[in-house]
Amino acid sequence: MQVQHFEDPSEDQALAVVGLCRSLDCLADRIYTQFATAADSDALKAFWQEMAEEEREHTKLWERVQSAGTKQQLPPIFDDPDAVRTSLQEVMDRVEATFAHLDSTSTISHSFVLACRLELSMLHPAFATLFYFARALLNIDFYSTYEAHLNRFVDALHFHCDMSPELELLGETLKRLWRDNQTLTQCATHDELTGLLNRRGFWILARQLAYFSHRNQINIGVLMLDIDDFRLVNERHGHPFADRVLKNVAAVLEARLRRSDILGRYGGEEFVIFFPEIRPSGLAGVAEQLRQSIEQLDTDGVGVTVSVGGTQSVVQTDPEGELNALIATADRLLYAAKSGGKNQVVLDGANG
């Protein structure tokens, strides 16, 4: 059968967003280099040179993301990529206009105020979203480099300037926005109780990897797991204890999976796993290992079991539609496992 490749125009838009993020860091490099040239003390010159070098390192990270995108390893990320691109372009235009007539005779405080404006522009939500997916999909860690950069900048703000209330507020605002961006990204994509991806976060990541698997014709798999008789655990031991059981089950599943596998809490006591690459003969063994691991779990003398349904396929035409179909099939087979006696694995006929 000839494979039909499904192209999503939002991929090009996502790549355009990456390009704008890189351009902002390139602009920051030029600006901080100019600040270093104009600095009237060795300490300040060294600081701005260090900031410029860090921006060059950030640019290299964006180039890695761009390279992944051109190799079709960066699937659609944003729900409305055109709106994100437009918003970032407006930010870029404002920053360029602000620094177009940069005065080399500006005071130290004025330079830091302008730099604060630049750093604030790079706390655009698009950055936080790309940071998250770059780490999750491409193993590129922006978080540590940007956080160290931002902390160094705020420390220098305190050291080199007579801290007026306005500058102090700017420094506090930068750190708060950085924390809030990370918190919002985490809350939007993760389950608060278990720390796993929530249904939305799972779908976003699995969707991206389904596109990648489709392009490379890699076999993918889905497992749905549900804790058996969980309602009785709630009734007999109370909700706080049941929450501990959920967290323990989540921890066991997470420990048994590869880093590349996508694990989420699908709702209630139900979990979902997406395997972006798995041997056709391997799904049954993985499912059984997970079932046995949960069976051996003990929470203060209370044990639980799980029923598991699963399926696998190579995506032929429509990554999103076929991923949805796999999840629906796995869910149906999960309930077949429950109706067949619980604490068992049921895979579809194609999985042996």
CATH classification of the domain holding 75:
1.20.1260.10
The residue type at 228: D
Task: Examine the domain organization and report whether 181 and 203 are in the same domain.
Answer: no
* Residues of the chain above pLDDT 70, percent: 90
Tokens for 13, please give them.
């838009």
pLDDT in tens, 184-198: 777 778 898 999 999
Q: Percent helix, strand, coil in the chain (nearest 5)?
A: 65, 10, 25
pLDDT band at 71 (very low <50, low <70, confident <90, very high): low
Taking each continuous run of H as one helix and of E as one strand, the counts in the chain are 12, 7
For position 97, what pLDDT does the model report? 82
Domain identity same for 14 and 151: yes
| Of 189, 217, 251, the domain-final residue | 189
How far, in Å, are 56, 186, 237 from residue 300 at the CA level? Answer: 52, 30, 11
Antiparallel, parallel or unpaired: β 270-275 and 298-299: unpaired
Full-model pTM: 0.68
297 within 8 A of 303, measured Cβ to Cβ: yes
Weakest-pLDDT range from 32-46, 96-110, 204-218: 96-110
Q: Select the more confidently predicted residue: 27 or 125.
A: 27
Within this chain, do residues 120 and 265 fall inside the same structural domain, yes or no? no
Same domain, 137 and 273: no
In total, how many domains does the chain have?
2
Q: What pLDDT score was predicted for residue 1?
A: 28
Q: Measure the CA dihedral 52/58/60/63, to 10°.
A: -130
**Confidence category of residue 201, pLDDT binned at 50, 70, 90:** confident
How confident is the model at residue 66, as a pLDDT? 86
Our measurement of the distance from residue 72's CA atom to the centroid of its chain's CA atoms, rounded to an integer in Å, reads: 18
Strand 270-275 and strand 219-227: the pairing is antiparallel
Q: With respect to residue 153, please indicate whether it lies within any of the assigned structural domains.
A: yes
Answer yes or no: is 5 within a domain. Answer: no
- Given 189, 207, 237, the domain boundary residue is 189
CA angle 174, 91, 66 (to 5 degrees): 95
Q: Do 230 and 250 belong to one domain?
A: yes
CATH at residue 335: 3.30.70.270
For residue 222, what are the domain limits? 199-351
What is the reported pLDDT for 67? 85
Taking Cα atoms as reference points, which of 25, 126, 28, 117 lies closest to residue 85? 126
Reported confidence tier of residue 8, pLDDT bands at 50, 70, 90: very low
* DSSP single-letter state for residue 95: H
Identify the CA nearest to 284 among candidates 262, 310, 261, 248: 310
Residue 175 is assigned to a structural domain of this protein: yes
Domain-located, residue 278? yes
Higher pLDDT, 26 or 126: 26
Does residue 259 register a pLDDT over 60? yes
Q: Given this model, what pLDDT does residue 169 score?
A: 76
- Mapped onto helix, strand or coil, the DSSP state of residue 182 is helix
| Domain identity same for 23 and 149 | yes
pLDDT given at position 253: 97
Identify whether 194 is part of a domain: no
Residue 283 and residue 205: Cα distance in Å, rounded?
A: 20
Please indicate, yes or no, if residue 2 is contained in any of the structural domains: no
Which of 208, 182, 276, 58 lies closest to 66 in space, CA to CA?
Answer: 58
Which of 146, 163, 189 corresponds to the end of one domain? 189
- Residue 228, classified by CB atoms within 10 Å of its CB into exposed (0-12), middle (13-18) or buried (19+), is buried
Q: Is residue 4 part of a domain?
A: no
Do 311 and 248 share a structural domain? yes
Residue 3 included in any domain: no
Does residue 162 or residue 298 have the better pLDDT?
298
Q: How confident is the model at residue 9 (pLDDT cuts 50, 70, 90)?
A: very low
